[in-house]
Amino acid sequence: MYKLFFNLVFKHMDPEKAHYLAFRWIRGAARTPVLRTFVAAALAPRYKELRTEALGLRMHGPFGLAAGFDKNAVAIDGMAMLGFDHVEIGTVTGEPQPGNPKKRLFRLVADRALINRMGFNNEGSLAVAARLASRNPVFKTTVGVNIGKTKVVPEAEAVGDYVKSTERLAAFADYLVVNVSSPNTPGLRNLQATQALRPLLTAVREAADRTVRSRRVPLLVKIAPDLADEDIDAVADLAVELGLDGIIATNTTIKREGLATEGEVVNETGGLSGAPLKERSLEVLRRLYARVGDKITLVGVGGVENAEDAWQRILAGATLVQGYSAFIYEGPFYARAVHKGLAARLRTSPYATLADAIGADVKENTSA
Ligand SMILES: Cc1cc2nc3c(=O)[nH]c(=O)nc-3n(C[C@H](O)[C@H](O)[C@H](O)COP(=O)(O)O)c2cc1C
């Protein structure tokens, strides 16, 4: 049904316009009590066996919405209604900014992929904090807050910008993510180098602790798939050393390898996401798990299209799994299909619980 609709309507629309149209429908449905109850019953069935504990939080399941879809925290209930077990809002920057000029989002339909150079278009930390403060949640869901650097802030002052966002947003975050991996803010990915990352993560940790005294807000870092293997190891070691709670792997890639789509669109500047990212994202996750094991929580994202992909991420070491691009291609039944398939996969697996399956592939290979 959705695929037919996608081919007849969305495919012919500008991708960003289609995004906002779908977004309006989701928000509208979530605001209408009868409709949202009906939709949630159909799309967000709960599976006892998928209940997940991660980052000190209890969730209905391991599968959530990756950052970038709901940058301004306007549709958390809507996304929970569609079955996402956690919703990562943002990236939010210290100051509001319009992002890059349009067109800045492109579909590579033959590859089930997207290229985006949105450039952190968002209302800024003050406005998003105010929205989160006045939020009256309908569905109980985990809310991650992903923060990044304001474009006009020089790299040398990046820490202050992240600290500002942390002070404003940490109180509303079930977990906080330091995003240093978007390819669309000049210089941002340089912050992944440990000499820049160490002071940044330390300052954000301190700011979160200073601002929120009643609990310890879990802190994660989100990394790019284009890091060299030694740099992945270095980030992993640093995360353990600093007592970070998790790593999200991965953001979009600037590489363009093995694409089926033809034409100029593949040369658009920006980050590539979706199916072509699957292999590298999984590889990064495996490498991280081999390095950190169960010391910190890993979140697997990049090309997760279905339950089998989610299962592979769990076997590779992910406690939580996220998706974005496949939601565009699979539509509202995406999360439901992942849950249903994951529950079935677990039942036929040798593992009694999802937690037992985490990293099983990597453990097997390292003990062999
Ligand atoms: C249009 C678009 C915007 C995105 N914006 C953000 C963002 O603001 N912050 C972020 O950390 N990741 C952002 N991402 C990256 C996703 O969160 C995710 O890491 C990446 O797309 C890989 O997952 P996927 O293959 O399931 O899409 C964005 C992705 C897309 C497609």
In total, the chain counts a number of residues equal to: 368
Residue identifier of the C-alpha nearest atom 3 of ligand 1:
68
In degrees and rounded to multiples of 5, residue 93 shows phi and psi of: -110, 165
**Cα 340 to middle of ligand 1, angstroms:** 24
Give residue-wise pLDDT tens across range 217-243: 999 999 999 999 999 999 999 999 999
CB 183 less than 6 A from any atom of ligand 1: no
DSSP state of 143: E
Distance CA 278, CA 316 (A): 13
pLDDT for position 192: 82
pLDDT for position 169: 98
**Cα 350 to middle of ligand 1, angstroms:** 33
Residue identifier of the C-alpha nearest atom 18 of ligand 1:
251
CB 251 less than 6 A from any atom of ligand 1: yes
CB 326 less than 6 A from any atom of ligand 1: yes
Ligand 1, from 97, 106, 176, 252: best to mutate by most atoms within 8 Å of Cβ?
Answer: 252
pLDDT for position 348: 97
| pTM for the predicted model, two decimal places | 0.97
Percent of the chain with pLDDT over 70: 99
pLDDT for position 114: 97
Q: Who contacts 63 (Cβ-Cβ below 8 Å, separation ≥6)? A: 83, 84, 85, 310, 320, 321, 322, 323, 335, 338, 339, 342
pLDDT for position 76: 97
Give residue-wise pLDDT tens across range 344-364: 999 999 999 999 999 999 998
pLDDT for position 368: 55
One-letter amino acid for residue 189 of the chain: R
pLDDT for position 20: 85
CB 144 less than 6 A from any atom of ligand 1: no
Distance CA 307, CA 338 (A): 4
pLDDT for position 365: 79
Distance CA 112, CA 244 (A): 33
Positions of E strands within 38-197: 52-54, 57-59, 63-65, 86-93, 105-108, 113-116, 142-148, 175-179
pLDDT less than 50: residues of the chain: none
One-letter amino acid for residue 245 of the chain: D
Helix, strand, coil percentages in the chain from 3-state DSSP, rounded to 5: 50, 15, 35
Known catalytic residue at 181: no
